[in-house]
Structure 1
């Protein structure tokens, strides 16, 4: 088992990948650098290999697919993941790795938003999206993650081997963050510098389509991990809307003894029934979610035992 594995997912990054690999080797000389190519059509693979990286491939397109392959194939005490676009200086790489190796952190978030991101990044909708996701996830899950969408993170062996990757694209960062929060894993924030892509380097993130996928993923995971709150909110909305429409009917009934709008009354009755059904669905799913959290602790214990066995086999 390696001590530190640096994971670099790449797609057409020939302009920057050589510098990123060199910077990683200078900052963490003991680390093994893995570049996972995702069907690049330029010289990314050639340059990465020439500069000493271990190059592997993932044929299925999408960052989530690349990370699934990385986490499945590599065993290490600490994983440092960084983008291949040279937007993250490696000054904090050692600190992030030490948070995992020495402090027992499960995920260390490279926090761009507390440093230079909003001045360096030239895409205003990306700035808005990052702020929106940070506010949304911290509010929904009652946590304090400083940067949800950062591609600069460090992970423990326990996190990597218990994280089921379902996302295919850029929503993977949201999935990783919420997974760590839901299962009460130790998450720490490290402020890192951010610099915009060099001229000529193109972002693979589509502001609108990928942004909508990220928001949908956040709501989907909130439904899965906090079903009582999610379906409770649906129940509250349906019942409140039904009562709002029923009030004039009741007022007229008490004044005249007549019910002139039977269709409205019937629809409101069904809305109340749907709200009650939503409430009990949330209660049932909450029990299943609690069971999943208990089962996760058993899975985590098995992964820890596997890690100890591997370390004993390495003589550490």
Structure 2
């Protein structure tokens, strides 16, 4: 992914400038581990925001770990994550999932890429094979990446990863429209607008708790989002 936009050298951001955000829905089995990992890696300096629609102890556990919890009626992945991304006032925002699948120990590397000039840093789960991912999900993600790359005319290796770092100024400039397909949209719009978008390989672990996404209906929604966003961006 090539850099097309140029600007003055960015500030040197630290964990004091970082917010880690996520949508949470009945993830009591994993949320404590995820938040403990974030606290450990960032020395407790990162701001953590959870947009929550749970009926279990997830919000209570999150607050016990010092996270800001925004309670919201369940309206889907994108609604929660969009709120989470736009809420913090820190200049660097990292999205993650709350099911303990993503490596929080890689947060320093994501921040390093932002300090090197990246606008978006996207964790590529498929690079190492994502063997812990269900085979149907892995195939679907490979097809999403292939289709998205063809439609955009730009190569992307993992369209729907949940772990990304963004400059806050970028996410505020773009109008986000998708729900289930928001993860693909969050990559596609910056990439097609010429921002410096970089993918880095990350490890992916088996999730804790039950998945909330139906692979067939969810997959169809994501595919529709990829087509819709690509067409909209080409017509801009």
TM-score (normalised: structure 1): 0.67
Q: 124, 135, 148: which one pairs with 1:124?
A: 135
Following superposition, the deviation at residue 126 of structure 1 comes to 0.8
2:167 is matched with which residue?
156
Following superposition, the deviation at residue 60 of structure 1 comes to 4.8
1:133 is matched with which residue?
144
1:242 is matched with which residue?
none
Please list every run of 5 or more consecutive structure 1 residues that lacks an aligned counterpart in the other structure.
228-288, 290-316
Structure with a larger share of its residues in helix: 1
Following superposition, the deviation at residue 67 of structure 1 comes to 2.2
Q: Distance in 2 between matches of 1:52 and 1:223?
A: 41
Secondary structure of 1:40's aligned partner: coil
- Corresponding pairs, count: 220
1:61 is matched with which residue?
75
Structure of higher CA gyration radius: 1
Following superposition, the deviation at residue 116 of structure 1 comes to 4.2
Equivalent pair of 1:16/1:85 in contact (CA under 8 Å): yes
Q: 213, 227, 230: which one pairs with 1:219?
A: 227
Secondary structure of 1:35's aligned partner: strand
Q: Distance in 1 between matches of 2:72 and 2:185?
A: 20
CA RMSD of aligned residues (A): 1.4
Runs of 4+ in 1 over 3 A off after TM superposition: none
Equivalent pair of 2:151/2:230 in contact (CA under 8 Å): yes
Q: 185, 194, 197: which one pairs with 1:187?
A: 197
Following superposition, the deviation at residue 36 of structure 1 comes to 1.6
Q: Distance in 2 between matches of 1:145 and 1:161?
A: 22
More off after superposition, 9-18 vs 218-227: 218-227
Equivalent pair of 2:184/2:222 in contact (CA under 8 Å): yes
Following superposition, the deviation at residue 57 of structure 1 comes to 1.9
Pair 1:85-2:99 in alignment: yes
2:65 is matched with which residue?
51
TM alignment of 1:239-278, pairs within 5 A: none
Q: Distance in 2 between matches of 1:108 and 1:126?
A: 22
Following superposition, the deviation at residue 55 of structure 1 comes to 1.4
Pair 1:73-2:87 in alignment: yes
Pair 1:105-2:130 in alignment: no
Q: Distance in 2 between matches of 1:52 and 1:64?
A: 24
